[in-house]
């Protein structure tokens, strides 16, 4: 298989894959999942009490899957995080940075959620206990994906044959 700038061409089928490495595919999957979650946060039935959604703040009564408190801001963050994942998945170093950096952000959100009174104005995202523990799992999972899928891979540019 030949690789050139983030794409992989299978020598048998001749198909080109946009996400050539496992890290890139993981980042694309995580990004697509965040994008889907951001969209579902606005879908009645999937998000309960959608008529009680607020732009931001702990007063939002909307809950994704009846469990995770969401707001318009929360959903927009998911959408942006999803788009970032899909864009960054195009190149291995960026995909790795998305997974590890995004995981660190989610661990930070987990700590923020644990330290913030869920009924205070500081809970502007908003977060509830289910969100807090989901953020912990996302943080650990994303960092794990970024590290484990990159193991043994040196960060190098792949040049076409015959290039100097």
Is there a domain that residue 153 lies in?
no
Q: Which residues 6+ apart lie within 8 Å of 91 measured at CB?
A: 5, 6, 24
Domain count, the chain: 1
Question: Tell me, what's the pLDDT at 75?
Answer: 97
Question: Tell me, what's the pLDDT at 31?
Answer: 98
Question: Tell me, what's the pLDDT at 88?
Answer: 98
> If you average pLDDT over residues 93-119, what whole number do you get?
95
Is there a domain that residue 116 lies in?
yes
* 71 pLDDT above the threshold of 80: yes
> If you average pLDDT over residues 10-20, what whole number do you get?
51
Is there a domain that residue 10 lies in?
no
Question: Tell me, what's the pLDDT at 139?
Answer: 97
Is there a domain that residue 33 lies in?
yes
> If you average pLDDT over residues 56-65, what whole number do you get?
92
Is there a domain that residue 67 lies in?
yes
Contact 38, 75 (CB under 8 A): yes
Residue 10: pLDDT band (50, 70, 90) is: very low
- Residue 143 lies in domain: 19-148
Residue 116: pLDDT band (50, 70, 90) is: very high
Is there a domain that residue 45 lies in?
yes
* 161 pLDDT above the threshold of 70: no
Is there a domain that residue 82 lies in?
yes
**DSSP-assigned states of every residue in the chain:** -EEETTEEE-TTT--EES--SHHHHHHHHHHHHHHHHHHHTTSBTTEETGGG--SSSTT---EETTTEE--HHHHHHHHHHHHHHHHHTTSHHHHHHHHHHHHHHHHHHHHHHHHS-TTSTT--S---HHHHHHHHHHHHHHHHHHHHTTTT--------TT--
* 9 pLDDT above the threshold of 80: no
Question: Tell me, what's the pLDDT at 163?
Answer: 46
Is there a domain that residue 35 lies in?
yes
Residue 160: pLDDT band (50, 70, 90) is: very low
């Amino acid at each position: 298989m030949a690789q050139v700038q983030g794409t992989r061409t299978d020598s048998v089928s001749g198909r080109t894959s946009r996400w050539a490495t496992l890290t890139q595919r993981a980042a694309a999957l995580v990004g697509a999942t965040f994008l889907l979650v951001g969209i579902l946060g606005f879908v009645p039935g999937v998000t309960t009490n959608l008529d009680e959604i607020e732009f931001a703040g702990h007063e939002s009564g909307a809950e994704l899957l009846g469990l995770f408190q969401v707001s318009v801001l929360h959903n927009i963050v998911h959408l942006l995080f999803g788009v970032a994942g899909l864009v960054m998945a195009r190149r291995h170093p960026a995909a790795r940075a998305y997974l590890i950096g995004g995981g660190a952000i989610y661990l930070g959100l987990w700590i923020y959620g644990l330290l913030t009174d869920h009924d205070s104005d500081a809970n502007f995202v908003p977060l509830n206990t289910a969100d807090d523990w989901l953020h912990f799992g996302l943080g650990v999972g994303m960092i794990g994906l970024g590290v484990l899928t990159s193991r043994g891979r040196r960060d190098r540019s792949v040049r076409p044959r015959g290039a100097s």
